[in-house]
Amino acid sequence: MSPSPEQLKAEILRLTREYSAAMHQANLPASERTLPFEPGVTTVPYAGRVFTADEVEAAVGSTLDFWLTLGPEGEAFEKELAQLLGVKHSLLLNSGSSANLVAFATLTTHKLPAHRRIQPGDEVITVAAGFPTTVAPILQAGVIPVFLDNDPITGNISTDRLEDAFSPGKTKAVMIAHALGNPFDIGTILEFCRRHDLWLIEDNCDALGCTYSMPIARAKALGFTENSPGIPADGASITRYTGTWGDISTQSFYPPHHLTMGEGGAVNIISKPPLKSYAESFRDWGRDCWCPSGKDNTCNKRFCWQLGELPEGYDHKYIYSHLGYNLKPLDPQAAIGRQQLKKLPGFITARKVNWEYLRNGLAGLEEFFEFSLPTHATRWVPPTEPRVDSIFEWDNSGSRTDCSWFGFMIRVKPNAPFSHTDLAQYLESKRIGNRMFFGGNLLRQPVFVQLKKDRPDAFRVVGETPGADEIMNRALFLGTYPGLTTAMLDYEIDTICSFVKSRQ
Protein backbone atom coordinates (compact mmCIF):
# COMPACT_ATOMS: atom_id res chain seq x y z
CA MET A 1 0.00 0.00 0.00
CA SER A 2 1.39 3.39 -0.98
CA PRO A 3 1.99 5.92 1.80
CA SER A 4 -0.54 8.70 2.14
CA PRO A 5 0.40 12.30 1.28
CA GLU A 6 0.51 13.05 5.01
CA GLN A 7 2.93 10.18 5.59
CA LEU A 8 5.08 11.26 2.67
CA LYS A 9 5.23 14.80 3.97
CA ALA A 10 6.14 13.63 7.47
CA GLU A 11 9.00 11.51 6.07
CA ILE A 12 10.26 14.37 3.89
CA LEU A 13 10.30 16.69 6.89
CA ARG A 14 12.07 14.11 9.05
CA LEU A 15 14.78 13.77 6.41
CA THR A 16 14.87 17.57 6.07
CA ARG A 17 15.76 17.93 9.73
CA GLU A 18 18.39 15.24 9.39
CA TYR A 19 19.87 17.00 6.37
CA SER A 20 19.87 20.38 8.14
CA ALA A 21 21.66 18.93 11.17
CA ALA A 22 24.35 17.56 8.87
CA MET A 23 24.77 20.58 6.60
CA HIS A 24 24.10 23.72 8.62
CA GLN A 25 26.25 23.42 11.75
CA ALA A 26 27.93 26.74 10.95
CA ASN A 27 24.58 28.54 11.13
CA LEU A 28 23.51 27.36 14.56
CA PRO A 29 23.34 29.78 17.48
CA ALA A 30 26.74 29.98 19.16
CA SER A 31 25.44 28.10 22.21
CA GLU A 32 24.57 25.08 20.04
CA ARG A 33 27.57 25.04 17.73
CA THR A 34 30.10 22.22 17.94
CA LEU A 35 32.30 23.01 14.94
CA PRO A 36 35.87 23.87 15.98
CA PHE A 37 37.05 27.42 15.48
CA GLU A 38 40.44 27.86 13.81
CA PRO A 39 41.82 31.38 14.29
CA GLY A 40 42.86 32.91 10.99
CA VAL A 41 41.23 30.09 9.06
CA THR A 42 37.58 30.17 10.09
CA THR A 43 35.90 33.37 8.94
CA VAL A 44 34.39 35.53 11.66
CA PRO A 45 31.48 37.26 9.88
CA TYR A 46 30.19 40.64 11.01
CA ALA A 47 26.68 39.16 10.63
CA GLY A 48 24.90 36.16 9.20
CA ARG A 49 21.97 33.80 9.21
CA VAL A 50 21.42 31.97 12.50
CA PHE A 51 18.95 29.12 12.28
CA THR A 52 18.28 25.50 13.18
CA ALA A 53 16.44 22.61 11.56
CA ASP A 54 13.19 24.32 12.63
CA GLU A 55 13.48 26.99 9.94
CA VAL A 56 14.54 24.54 7.22
CA GLU A 57 11.62 22.24 8.05
CA ALA A 58 9.20 25.18 8.02
CA ALA A 59 10.45 26.36 4.62
CA VAL A 60 10.25 22.90 3.07
CA GLY A 61 6.84 22.19 4.61
CA SER A 62 5.41 25.43 3.29
CA THR A 63 6.91 24.80 -0.14
CA LEU A 64 5.36 21.31 -0.25
CA ASP A 65 1.98 22.92 0.39
CA PHE A 66 2.84 25.14 -2.60
CA TRP A 67 0.77 28.15 -1.69
CA LEU A 68 3.92 30.20 -2.51
CA THR A 69 2.50 33.72 -2.69
CA LEU A 70 1.84 35.43 0.64
CA GLY A 71 -0.86 33.41 2.38
CA PRO A 72 -1.59 31.66 5.68
CA GLU A 73 1.99 31.70 6.97
CA GLY A 74 2.26 35.38 6.12
CA GLU A 75 -1.00 36.20 7.84
CA ALA A 76 0.13 34.36 10.96
CA PHE A 77 3.54 36.05 10.96
CA GLU A 78 1.99 39.50 10.65
CA LYS A 79 -0.25 38.85 13.65
CA GLU A 80 2.58 37.39 15.72
CA LEU A 81 4.95 40.29 15.00
CA ALA A 82 2.25 42.86 15.79
CA GLN A 83 1.46 41.07 19.07
CA LEU A 84 5.13 40.90 20.00
CA LEU A 85 5.65 44.63 19.47
CA GLY A 86 2.25 45.76 20.68
CA VAL A 87 1.23 47.60 17.52
CA LYS A 88 -2.09 47.63 15.68
CA HIS A 89 -0.86 45.90 12.52
CA SER A 90 2.26 44.59 10.81
CA LEU A 91 2.44 44.08 7.06
CA LEU A 92 5.04 41.85 5.42
CA LEU A 93 7.10 43.09 2.48
CA ASN A 94 9.95 41.73 0.40
CA SER A 95 12.68 43.87 2.02
CA GLY A 96 13.38 46.55 4.59
CA SER A 97 14.05 49.01 1.76
CA SER A 98 10.62 48.24 0.32
CA ALA A 99 9.19 48.72 3.79
CA ASN A 100 10.70 52.22 3.93
CA LEU A 101 9.28 52.95 0.48
CA VAL A 102 5.77 51.80 1.44
CA ALA A 103 5.85 53.47 4.86
CA PHE A 104 6.68 56.80 3.29
CA ALA A 105 4.25 56.36 0.40
CA THR A 106 1.48 55.62 2.91
CA LEU A 107 1.73 59.19 4.18
CA THR A 108 1.34 60.63 0.67
CA THR A 109 -2.16 59.23 0.10
CA HIS A 110 -4.95 61.62 -0.87
CA LYS A 111 -7.09 59.87 1.74
CA LEU A 112 -5.29 61.74 4.52
CA PRO A 113 -6.38 65.23 5.61
CA ALA A 114 -4.72 67.80 3.34
CA HIS A 115 -2.65 69.37 6.12
CA ARG A 116 -1.12 65.97 7.06
CA ARG A 117 -0.60 64.60 3.57
CA ILE A 118 3.02 64.66 2.33
CA GLN A 119 3.15 66.06 -1.19
CA PRO A 120 5.89 66.99 -3.70
CA GLY A 121 7.77 70.06 -2.53
CA ASP A 122 7.12 69.36 1.15
CA GLU A 123 10.05 68.70 3.49
CA VAL A 124 10.99 65.77 5.71
CA ILE A 125 13.74 65.92 8.34
CA THR A 126 16.31 63.14 8.29
CA VAL A 127 19.97 62.52 9.20
CA ALA A 128 23.17 62.76 7.18
CA ALA A 129 24.94 59.47 7.95
CA GLY A 130 23.15 56.17 7.55
CA PHE A 131 21.71 53.76 5.01
CA PRO A 132 20.55 55.29 1.72
CA THR A 133 17.13 53.67 1.56
CA THR A 134 16.05 55.57 4.67
CA VAL A 135 16.33 58.71 2.55
CA ALA A 136 15.63 57.44 -0.98
CA PRO A 137 11.81 57.25 -0.64
CA ILE A 138 11.70 60.92 0.32
CA LEU A 139 13.44 61.98 -2.88
CA GLN A 140 11.59 59.43 -5.01
CA ALA A 141 8.30 61.03 -3.94
CA GLY A 142 9.48 64.49 -5.02
CA VAL A 143 9.83 65.57 -1.38
CA ILE A 144 12.83 67.50 -0.01
CA PRO A 145 14.94 65.76 2.64
CA VAL A 146 16.38 68.15 5.21
CA PHE A 147 19.60 66.75 6.65
CA LEU A 148 20.79 67.18 10.20
CA ASP A 149 24.14 66.05 11.57
CA ASN A 150 24.85 62.85 13.51
CA ASP A 151 26.10 62.48 17.04
CA PRO A 152 29.19 60.32 16.46
CA ILE A 153 29.00 58.84 19.97
CA THR A 154 25.59 57.23 19.41
CA GLY A 155 25.48 57.26 15.60
CA ASN A 156 22.05 58.89 15.81
CA ILE A 157 20.65 62.26 14.77
CA SER A 158 21.82 65.31 16.70
CA THR A 159 18.68 66.93 18.04
CA ASP A 160 20.03 70.39 18.90
CA ARG A 161 19.03 71.93 15.54
CA LEU A 162 15.61 70.38 15.03
CA GLU A 163 13.87 73.73 15.25
CA ASP A 164 16.29 75.21 12.72
CA ALA A 165 15.31 72.44 10.31
CA PHE A 166 11.58 73.09 10.67
CA SER A 167 9.82 75.08 7.93
CA PRO A 168 6.24 76.12 8.84
CA GLY A 169 3.79 74.83 6.27
CA LYS A 170 6.42 72.69 4.52
CA THR A 171 7.83 70.26 7.08
CA LYS A 172 5.53 67.24 7.34
CA ALA A 173 7.55 64.43 8.96
CA VAL A 174 10.71 63.12 10.54
CA MET A 175 12.11 59.90 9.04
CA ILE A 176 15.21 58.47 10.75
CA ALA A 177 16.72 55.15 11.77
CA HIS A 178 17.79 53.78 15.13
CA ALA A 179 21.51 53.47 14.40
CA LEU A 180 23.09 50.00 14.79
CA GLY A 181 20.50 48.95 17.35
CA ASN A 182 20.89 52.12 19.42
CA PRO A 183 17.58 54.03 19.79
CA PHE A 184 17.63 57.69 18.85
CA ASP A 185 16.45 60.27 21.38
CA ILE A 186 12.79 59.34 21.08
CA GLY A 187 11.60 61.69 23.81
CA THR A 188 13.06 64.81 22.19
CA ILE A 189 12.04 63.80 18.67
CA LEU A 190 8.47 62.98 19.72
CA GLU A 191 8.04 66.25 21.60
CA PHE A 192 9.23 68.08 18.48
CA CYS A 193 6.81 66.12 16.27
CA ARG A 194 3.86 66.68 18.60
CA ARG A 195 4.64 70.41 18.85
CA HIS A 196 4.50 70.80 15.07
CA ASP A 197 1.95 68.08 14.18
CA LEU A 198 4.50 65.99 12.25
CA TRP A 199 4.57 62.31 11.36
CA LEU A 200 7.36 60.19 12.85
CA ILE A 201 8.58 57.30 10.71
CA GLU A 202 10.91 55.00 12.66
CA ASP A 203 13.32 53.00 10.53
CA ASN A 204 13.65 50.09 12.96
CA CYS A 205 15.46 47.81 10.54
CA ASP A 206 18.62 47.56 12.67
CA ALA A 207 16.91 47.74 16.04
CA LEU A 208 14.29 45.00 16.54
CA GLY A 209 14.09 44.30 20.25
CA CYS A 210 15.56 47.60 21.47
CA THR A 211 13.61 49.42 24.16
CA TYR A 212 13.33 53.06 25.18
CA SER A 213 12.13 54.23 28.58
CA MET A 214 10.95 57.64 29.69
CA PRO A 215 9.39 58.94 32.93
CA ILE A 216 5.67 58.28 33.18
CA ALA A 217 4.72 61.96 33.26
CA ARG A 218 6.66 62.68 30.07
CA ALA A 219 5.26 59.59 28.35
CA LYS A 220 1.68 60.45 29.29
CA ALA A 221 2.13 63.97 27.95
CA LEU A 222 3.04 62.33 24.64
CA GLY A 223 0.01 60.03 24.75
CA PHE A 224 1.55 56.80 26.09
CA THR A 225 0.24 55.02 29.15
CA GLU A 226 1.37 51.40 28.73
CA ASN A 227 4.55 49.42 28.21
CA SER A 228 5.00 47.18 25.21
CA PRO A 229 3.81 43.59 25.78
CA GLY A 230 6.14 41.47 27.87
CA ILE A 231 7.89 44.42 29.50
CA PRO A 232 7.11 44.63 33.24
CA ALA A 233 6.05 47.97 34.72
CA ASP A 234 8.37 49.56 37.28
CA GLY A 235 6.05 52.33 38.45
CA ALA A 236 8.37 55.09 37.32
CA SER A 237 8.75 54.78 33.55
CA ILE A 238 6.97 53.77 30.38
CA THR A 239 9.10 51.33 28.39
CA ARG A 240 8.31 50.41 24.83
CA TYR A 241 10.07 48.70 21.96
CA THR A 242 11.57 50.93 19.31
CA GLY A 243 9.32 50.89 16.28
CA THR A 244 6.27 51.47 18.52
CA TRP A 245 6.64 55.14 19.48
CA GLY A 246 6.09 56.86 16.13
CA ASP A 247 3.21 56.69 13.67
CA ILE A 248 4.64 54.03 11.39
CA SER A 249 7.83 51.96 11.47
CA THR A 250 9.80 49.52 9.36
CA GLN A 251 11.71 46.26 9.81
CA SER A 252 14.22 44.35 7.71
CA PHE A 253 14.61 40.59 7.70
CA TYR A 254 17.72 40.45 5.49
CA PRO A 255 20.26 37.90 6.86
CA PRO A 256 22.40 40.34 8.92
CA HIS A 257 19.38 41.58 10.87
CA HIS A 258 17.86 40.46 14.14
CA LEU A 259 15.82 37.76 12.46
CA THR A 260 15.83 36.64 8.86
CA MET A 261 13.55 35.40 6.14
CA GLY A 262 16.36 35.58 3.56
CA GLU A 263 14.81 38.68 2.07
CA GLY A 264 11.91 40.40 3.74
CA GLY A 265 10.68 43.36 5.70
CA ALA A 266 7.66 44.77 7.47
CA VAL A 267 5.71 47.97 7.99
CA ASN A 268 4.28 48.42 11.48
CA ILE A 269 1.15 50.53 11.96
CA ILE A 270 1.54 51.73 15.52
CA SER A 271 -1.87 53.13 16.52
CA LYS A 272 -3.81 54.52 13.54
CA PRO A 273 -5.69 51.61 11.84
CA PRO A 274 -6.57 53.49 8.61
CA LEU A 275 -2.87 53.60 7.73
CA LYS A 276 -2.98 49.81 7.30
CA SER A 277 -5.26 49.92 4.27
CA TYR A 278 -3.21 52.72 2.70
CA ALA A 279 0.03 50.78 3.21
CA GLU A 280 -1.55 47.60 1.84
CA SER A 281 -2.67 49.48 -1.23
CA PHE A 282 0.83 50.76 -2.00
CA ARG A 283 2.28 47.30 -1.33
CA ASP A 284 -0.34 45.53 -3.49
CA TRP A 285 -0.31 47.29 -6.88
CA GLY A 286 -2.11 50.40 -5.59
CA ARG A 287 -5.47 48.67 -5.54
CA ASP A 288 -8.39 49.91 -3.48
CA CYS A 289 -9.53 46.39 -2.58
CA TRP A 290 -8.26 44.94 0.69
CA CYS A 291 -9.00 41.26 0.01
CA PRO A 292 -5.94 39.06 0.62
CA SER A 293 -4.57 36.96 -2.22
CA GLY A 294 -6.87 34.07 -3.10
CA LYS A 295 -9.92 35.62 -1.44
CA ASP A 296 -12.75 37.62 -2.96
CA ASN A 297 -15.50 39.95 -1.74
CA THR A 298 -14.52 40.30 1.92
CA CYS A 299 -16.30 43.66 1.88
CA ASN A 300 -19.48 42.02 0.50
CA LYS A 301 -19.68 44.94 -1.97
CA ARG A 302 -17.36 43.75 -4.72
CA PHE A 303 -19.67 44.92 -7.52
CA CYS A 304 -21.34 47.80 -5.66
CA TRP A 305 -18.62 50.47 -5.70
CA GLN A 306 -18.40 53.62 -7.77
CA LEU A 307 -14.96 55.24 -7.50
CA GLY A 308 -13.13 57.71 -9.71
CA GLU A 309 -14.80 57.91 -13.11
CA LEU A 310 -15.34 54.16 -13.37
CA PRO A 311 -18.84 52.83 -14.01
CA GLU A 312 -20.80 51.81 -10.98
CA GLY A 313 -20.31 48.13 -10.16
CA TYR A 314 -16.82 47.89 -11.63
CA ASP A 315 -15.01 44.93 -10.05
CA HIS A 316 -13.47 46.26 -6.82
CA LYS A 317 -10.50 43.92 -7.18
CA TYR A 318 -9.42 45.99 -10.17
CA ILE A 319 -9.96 49.48 -8.83
CA TYR A 320 -6.74 51.40 -8.12
CA SER A 321 -6.55 54.36 -5.74
CA HIS A 322 -2.76 54.74 -5.77
CA LEU A 323 0.23 54.24 -8.04
CA GLY A 324 1.53 51.24 -6.15
CA TYR A 325 3.91 48.33 -6.39
CA ASN A 326 3.99 44.57 -5.88
CA LEU A 327 6.27 44.17 -2.87
CA LYS A 328 5.03 41.07 -1.08
CA PRO A 329 7.35 38.24 0.01
CA LEU A 330 6.59 34.54 -0.40
CA ASP A 331 4.71 32.41 2.10
CA PRO A 332 7.68 30.03 2.65
CA GLN A 333 9.67 33.08 3.76
CA ALA A 334 7.01 33.87 6.33
CA ALA A 335 7.15 30.26 7.54
CA ILE A 336 10.86 30.74 8.20
CA GLY A 337 10.16 34.05 9.94
CA ARG A 338 7.66 32.47 12.32
CA GLN A 339 10.35 30.10 13.58
CA GLN A 340 12.82 32.97 13.87
CA LEU A 341 10.34 34.96 15.96
CA LYS A 342 10.39 32.17 18.55
CA LYS A 343 14.16 32.55 18.85
CA LEU A 344 14.17 36.36 18.93
CA PRO A 345 14.43 36.77 22.74
CA GLY A 346 17.56 34.60 22.78
CA PHE A 347 18.99 36.44 19.78
CA ILE A 348 18.49 39.79 21.51
CA THR A 349 20.20 38.59 24.68
CA ALA A 350 23.14 37.23 22.67
CA ARG A 351 23.62 40.59 20.92
CA LYS A 352 23.76 42.41 24.24
CA VAL A 353 26.16 39.87 25.75
CA ASN A 354 28.45 39.99 22.71
CA TRP A 355 28.57 43.80 22.73
CA GLU A 356 29.51 43.85 26.40
CA TYR A 357 32.11 41.11 25.89
CA LEU A 358 33.82 43.15 23.17
CA ARG A 359 33.68 46.32 25.24
CA ASN A 360 35.23 44.61 28.25
CA GLY A 361 37.88 42.97 26.08
CA LEU A 362 38.92 46.23 24.41
CA ALA A 363 39.05 48.24 27.65
CA GLY A 364 42.46 49.83 27.91
CA LEU A 365 42.59 50.88 24.26
CA GLU A 366 40.89 54.23 24.89
CA GLU A 367 44.12 55.98 23.87
CA PHE A 368 43.43 54.85 20.31
CA PHE A 369 39.67 54.32 20.07
CA GLU A 370 36.45 56.05 20.99
CA PHE A 371 33.62 53.66 21.75
CA SER A 372 29.90 54.14 21.23
CA LEU A 373 27.45 54.73 24.02
CA PRO A 374 23.69 54.12 24.13
CA THR A 375 21.56 57.22 23.78
CA HIS A 376 21.22 58.95 27.18
CA ALA A 377 24.31 57.16 28.54
CA THR A 378 27.16 59.41 29.64
CA ARG A 379 29.79 56.81 30.45
CA TRP A 380 30.56 53.10 30.26
CA VAL A 381 31.42 51.71 33.69
CA PRO A 382 34.33 49.24 33.54
CA PRO A 383 33.93 45.95 35.43
CA THR A 384 36.73 47.08 37.76
CA GLU A 385 34.39 49.75 39.19
CA PRO A 386 31.19 49.26 41.20
CA ARG A 387 28.08 49.00 39.04
CA VAL A 388 24.73 49.96 40.48
CA ASP A 389 22.01 48.74 38.12
CA SER A 390 23.68 49.10 34.74
CA ILE A 391 26.99 48.98 32.93
CA PHE A 392 26.42 52.66 32.03
CA GLU A 393 25.96 55.97 33.81
CA TRP A 394 23.03 58.02 32.53
CA ASP A 395 22.09 61.65 31.92
CA ASN A 396 19.51 63.49 34.01
CA SER A 397 16.67 63.19 31.45
CA GLY A 398 15.19 60.19 33.23
CA SER A 399 15.15 58.33 29.91
CA ARG A 400 17.15 55.22 29.17
CA THR A 401 17.81 52.92 26.26
CA ASP A 402 18.33 49.16 26.23
CA CYS A 403 20.10 48.28 23.01
CA SER A 404 19.66 45.16 20.92
CA TRP A 405 22.96 45.88 19.22
CA PHE A 406 23.27 45.41 15.46
CA GLY A 407 26.99 46.08 15.65
CA PHE A 408 29.88 47.20 17.84
CA MET A 409 31.08 50.56 16.49
CA ILE A 410 34.51 51.97 17.26
CA ARG A 411 36.05 55.24 16.06
CA VAL A 412 39.77 55.57 15.53
CA LYS A 413 41.04 58.70 17.27
CA PRO A 414 42.58 61.40 15.06
CA ASN A 415 45.96 61.10 16.77
CA ALA A 416 46.14 57.30 16.47
CA PRO A 417 49.10 55.98 14.43
CA PHE A 418 46.70 54.27 12.02
CA SER A 419 43.41 54.96 10.23
CA HIS A 420 40.11 53.13 10.34
CA THR A 421 40.88 51.89 6.82
CA ASP A 422 44.20 50.43 8.06
CA LEU A 423 42.34 48.62 10.81
CA ALA A 424 39.59 47.42 8.46
CA GLN A 425 42.13 46.01 6.01
CA TYR A 426 44.07 44.27 8.78
CA LEU A 427 40.93 42.70 10.21
CA GLU A 428 39.94 41.56 6.73
CA SER A 429 43.37 39.94 6.26
CA LYS A 430 42.74 38.01 9.47
CA ARG A 431 39.32 36.88 8.20
CA ILE A 432 37.39 39.10 10.62
CA GLY A 433 34.35 40.69 9.02
CA ASN A 434 33.76 44.39 9.60
CA ARG A 435 31.84 47.21 7.97
CA MET A 436 31.89 50.97 7.72
CA PHE A 437 28.80 52.74 9.05
CA PHE A 438 26.83 51.98 5.87
CA GLY A 439 27.01 54.96 3.49
CA GLY A 440 28.83 57.23 5.94
CA ASN A 441 27.90 60.84 5.29
CA LEU A 442 25.42 60.34 2.47
CA LEU A 443 25.98 63.89 1.29
CA ARG A 444 29.49 62.82 0.18
CA GLN A 445 28.17 59.89 -1.87
CA PRO A 446 28.38 60.23 -5.68
CA VAL A 447 24.60 60.15 -6.05
CA PHE A 448 24.13 63.19 -3.79
CA VAL A 449 27.07 65.08 -5.25
CA GLN A 450 25.52 64.63 -8.69
CA LEU A 451 22.04 65.45 -7.42
CA LYS A 452 23.32 68.72 -5.99
CA LYS A 453 24.69 69.60 -9.44
CA ASP A 454 21.56 68.55 -11.32
CA ARG A 455 18.95 69.86 -8.87
CA PRO A 456 20.43 72.21 -6.27
CA ASP A 457 17.09 72.50 -4.47
CA ALA A 458 16.49 68.73 -4.24
CA PHE A 459 17.65 68.61 -0.62
CA ARG A 460 18.61 70.94 2.19
CA VAL A 461 21.35 70.74 4.82
CA VAL A 462 21.04 72.52 8.15
CA GLY A 463 24.46 73.69 9.29
CA GLU A 464 27.59 71.62 8.87
CA THR A 465 27.89 67.85 9.30
CA PRO A 466 31.14 67.24 11.24
CA GLY A 467 29.61 64.34 13.19
CA ALA A 468 28.60 62.52 10.02
CA ASP A 469 32.05 63.19 8.57
CA GLU A 470 33.68 61.81 11.71
CA ILE A 471 31.66 58.62 11.38
CA MET A 472 32.59 58.40 7.69
CA ASN A 473 36.30 59.02 8.26
CA ARG A 474 36.96 57.22 11.52
CA ALA A 475 34.32 54.56 12.30
CA LEU A 476 33.84 50.90 11.59
CA PHE A 477 31.83 48.22 13.30
CA LEU A 478 32.22 44.57 14.23
CA GLY A 479 29.47 42.02 14.56
CA THR A 480 27.39 41.21 17.61
CA TYR A 481 25.14 38.60 16.00
CA PRO A 482 24.11 35.41 17.84
CA GLY A 483 26.37 33.13 15.80
CA LEU A 484 29.54 34.54 17.37
CA THR A 485 31.20 32.15 19.80
CA THR A 486 33.39 33.18 22.72
CA ALA A 487 36.41 31.86 20.79
CA MET A 488 35.54 34.14 17.87
CA LEU A 489 35.13 37.17 20.12
CA ASP A 490 38.42 36.41 21.88
CA TYR A 491 40.13 36.18 18.50
CA GLU A 492 38.70 39.57 17.47
CA ILE A 493 39.90 41.16 20.70
CA ASP A 494 43.37 39.60 20.48
CA THR A 495 43.70 40.62 16.83
CA ILE A 496 42.81 44.25 17.51
CA CYS A 497 45.16 44.40 20.51
CA SER A 498 47.97 42.91 18.41
CA PHE A 499 47.31 45.38 15.61
CA VAL A 500 47.48 48.34 17.99
CA LYS A 501 50.68 47.07 19.59
CA SER A 502 52.32 46.62 16.19
CA ARG A 503 51.60 50.26 15.29
CA GLN A 504 52.94 51.87 18.45
In this structure, which amino acid lies at residue 248? I
**Exposed, middle or buried: residue 431 (CB in 10 Å: 0-12, 13-18, 19+)?**
middle
Q: Of 30, 49, 45, 59, nearest to 346 (Cα)?
A: 30
User: For residues 260 and 347, what is the distance between their CA atoms, to the nearest angstrom?
Assistant: 11
Angle at Cα 25 formed by Cα 24 and Cα 29, nearest 5°? 105
Cβ(55)–Cβ(259) under 8 Å? no
Cβ(210)–Cβ(181) under 8 Å? yes
How far, in Å, are 64, 198, 440 from residue 86 at the CA level?
A: 32, 22, 32
User: For residues 184 and 401, what is the distance between their CA atoms, to the nearest angstrom?
Assistant: 9
Q: Which residues lie closer than 8 Å to 257 by C-beta, 6 or more apart? A: 47, 96, 205, 206, 208, 251, 406
Enumerate the β-bridge partners of residue 249: 202, 268
Between the CA atoms of 368, 373, 377 and 381, what dihedral angle is there, to the nearest 10 degrees? -50
Other beta carbons within 10 Å of 325: 17
Coil vs helix vs strand at 380 = strand
User: For residues 146 and 98, what is the distance between their CA atoms, to the nearest angstrom?
Assistant: 21
Q: Of 435, 431, 416, nearest to 502 (Cα)?
A: 416
Q: Which one of the listed residues 257, 316, 376, 420 is annotated catalytic?
A: 257
Cβ(462)–Cβ(165) under 8 Å? yes
Q: Of 493, 482, 344, nearest to 39 (Cα)?
A: 493
Give the residue ranges of DSSP H helices in 107-171: 132-140, 162-165
Q: At what angle do helices 331-361 and 53-65 cross, to 10 degrees?
A: 160
Among this protein's residues, is 196 annotated catalytic? no
Q: Of 180, 177, 128, 130, nearest to 371 (Cα)?
A: 180
Between the CA atoms of 6, 11, 17 and 20, what dihedral angle is there, to the nearest 10 degrees? -120
Coil vs helix vs strand at 268 = strand
User: For residues 480 and 482, what is the distance between their CA atoms, to the nearest angstrom?
Assistant: 7
Active site residues: 257
